Each structure stands twice: as structure tokens, then as C-alpha cells.
Amino acid sequence: MILRKAREDESERLKAYFSQHQFPGPLSLQIQRKGSFFDKYKLYSSDYVTYILEDAQGELQGMASLIFAPGLIDQQPQTLGFATDLRITNSRRAILSWANHFLPLLEQERKERDCRYVFSSVAYSQKLALNAFLRPQGLRRALPRYYLYRRFDVVGLHGRFPWAPKVLPGLKFRNAHASDIDKILAFYASDPHSLWFPHIAKPKNFLDQIHSWLGHQLSHLQVVEDYRGELQATYALWNSSPIEEFCPQEYSGSALTLKESLRFFAWSGLTRTLPNVSCPLKFRYFTHLRVSHPDVFESILARAWQSTSSQEFLLYPHYHGNLSLAPPKSYLYSRWKWGLFCLLAPNDPYPNFLQQKFESEAPLWELAFM
């Protein structure tokens, strides 16, 4: 088998192979890329590479992508990497071939960019990935070592109870303007974040990132101010369907219970239903979500719930220990357990930022990036 870089003109081939692999769990998902397969990566950086594994007949047996961008770890600027979209045919030969070839190429890409750390996110429902790559730390063959950095939940908000708090009267919501950029970046930097990726501490970086998101103009970013005009939060609601769609293939267990419960209570207007099998999920990502206080977050949820379609649910990441973004009890919500991992070569030293510690502040890392 051969592991090589994919070309831009192989987009349709990659999309077909990518959609063959269902995302496991109580809600089995098929992810369908729209447009070019590489459009999602371009949202975050122009520096990306996709590797594909081919057999002797030229058939795809595996793939994964690496994205590199300026980042910040413990206030130290450096190039960071993110490994994503790993898909491997479920055969022993394909898995062993990938394991034998991928680490040298990963090391080569890191060396070319002077990149010390590469991260990846893994859902705990991905049992095969957990068993193949995370747990066998004692294997003799050269594999990247996955070290847990932060646990987080992908939180879906599906219903709002009548007693949910309304928007605080002292808060003002408005569209962001160019004159707000310095104020926004100062707000982002007001708390020391252990991880910030991509790093957007400069006005140009910030504007470039906003404009790279399809349909995402600066005016789509909401700023929330108190009665004194001080910034208390920022957020945007982003629809990913022009880039990729998530189509349920099977509801089982807790996902089936949730689907039926949402349908039962939908007559009262309290909940938003989930689609039938093979129909795409309708939701909005919270992006650029930074809040100063849990009460401000509840006001944002109330405003977002009113401004979105009755068929759309809301999605955001909640990192364990971050009290400001804890799911409010006044909403009906689901949790999907994930981990953000740091990939190290077997001979890499163990970095200090991976030491276990309580962190109340979430990493500045977009869920849509996962």
C-alpha cells in the first residue's frame, strides 16, 4: 500500500470515500461534504494537507488531513497543527499500513513548519479509534501517542422551558463594526487561555478568519454590552450546510429516546424535532462564543433561540470545568462526550501544559473545526 498526498482535483473521490464511513454512536451519522472536499479546511488556514492510503489497485483504503496555523500555548506563540477526518477501511492490512507509514509523514510535516504540537479531537463513541490509536500505548511499532488535553461535551439545545430566563434588561445586542475589533480582541485576551488556535490576536488575523467563513461578514458577529458600554460577550450563529451536512443513518438507545421525546413535546412549542433517517440535521453552531458570566450566556441563549428557525437546534462545546458555558437547566439538551488530545511522537518529551489541572476557561477552539 502507498500513502501519498491528495491532490485538489481528487475532491470528488475523497468525498465519496469520506461519506462511506458512518460516525458511530447512538446517533449514527453520515457526513457529506459539499462543494470541494477541502473547503472546510480553508475556513481556518491556507496551510493544509490530506494524505490518502491506496492499495495496489489504486482503491482508497484510508485518509487523514493535517491543518497548520499560528497558535498560542501558555501565552507562547507558535505554529500548531490539527489532525482531522481520519477514515480507514476496517481491515487489518489497511490499519497496519497506516500505522507504519503515518508517523514518519507526520514528523516530516511538523519539521517543515517547526511545529511542536499537533492536536486532534476524538468522540468517545468512536470505539475503534479509541482501541486502535489511544489505548495501545505500549506497542512496539511507531505510533503517535495520544495524550488527553481537555474533555468536553458537544451540547445540543433542543428545547426551552417556559421558566427559562429572558434577556437581561441591562444588556445590549448589536452587530459588530470595524471600530469594535480592538475592543473585541482585548476582551478575548483579558483572560489567559492555555490554548488558542488559530491565533487571532491581531486585527488582520481576526478579519481574515471572519471573512473566510462562507457567508460570514463582520456584521454577522454579535457583540453584547452592558449599560456602561463594556463588552460582556461575543457570538455568531453559523450554518455549516453549504460546506457539509450531517445525515442520521440510525437512531438507537439514548438518541432514539431523545428523538421521540422531542416529537412528543413539539405540539406545545417547547421542543424542536430531529429529522428522520437520511434527512440532514438542521442546526446552528455557536462560533466566536466568549462570555463573561453564566447569566450573560443565558441571555445569549434566549436571544439565539428566538432568532433561529423552529426546525433548528443549537450546538456548542462545553469544556469540563468551564462554569460560564455549563448547559442551563432551563433547556432540554443532549451531550456528546469528546476529548481534545495532543499527538506526540514516541520520543517527544511530555509538555508542561498537559499536566492535570483545573481550568475554568475554555480553550479558544471552534467546535465547527472538530
The whole-model pTM stands at: 0.91
In angstroms, rounded to a whole number, what is the distance separating the alpha carbons of residues 64 and 17?
12
Amino acid letter, 246:
F
Classify burial at 49, counting beta carbons within 10 Å of its beta carbon; exposed 0-12, middle 13-18, buried 19 or more. Answer: middle
State pLDDT tens for residues 10-61.
999 999 999 999 888 889 999 999 999 999 999 888 999 999 999 989 999 9
- Pairs from 8-12 (Cβ < 8 Å, separation ≥ 24): 8/36, 8/38, 10/37, 10/52, 11/36, 11/37, 11/38, 12/37
Amino acid letter, 319:
Y
Bridge-partner residues for 64, per DSSP? 51
State pLDDT tens for residues 83-125.
999 898 888 888 888 878 888 899 999 999 999 999 999 888 8
The answer to whether 184 touches 223, Cβ cutoff 8 Å, is yes
Instruction: List the domains of the chain with CATH numbers.
Output: 2-152+337-354 (3.40.630.30), 157-336 (3.40.630)
Residue whose cell numbers read 495496489? 56
In angstroms, rounded to a whole number, what is the distance separating the alpha carbons of residues 121 and 97?
22
